[in-house]
Amino acid sequence: MYHELTYEELARRRRMRIIYAILAVLIVINVVFAVTVSRSIARDQATASVRQAVVAAAVQCCAIEGSYPSMLSHLEEEYGLVINHNDYVVNYEWLGDNVPPSVVVRPR
């Protein structure tokens, strides 16, 4: 048997569709926000990891050779330090033989 919908039932269904649409939009916005934040956190952690690797290689060089290296390329050639220069800019400032270098790493 056919049952015709009343105006109240139609209005309720319309409200429910609007609520579902709003919830779907909010879920999409939350997912996009979460992905953006996690990418930012991962990039920050990777940058810190590159800086730690450079500093550790410099300390190892100082322990073996008795002085900090004057150039980043020395660490790459002699101590196996690998840096992806396409993704990161590394500013290595040598301050002296017995002074730890200043290392600043920035993502490109």
Angle at 74 between CA 71 and CA 80, to 5 degrees: 135
pLDDT digits (tens, 9 = 90+) for 13-48: 999 999 999 999 999 999 999 999 999 999 999 999
Domain boundaries, the chain: 7-107
Model-wide pTM > 0.85: no
**Calpha distance 102→108 (Å, rounded):** 19
Sequential DSSP letters for 65-95: HSS--S-HHHHHHHS-----TTTEEEEEE--
Task: Tell the residue number behind the tokens 């049952």, with chain if given.
Answer: 3
On the question of pLDDT at 53 being above 80, the answer is: yes
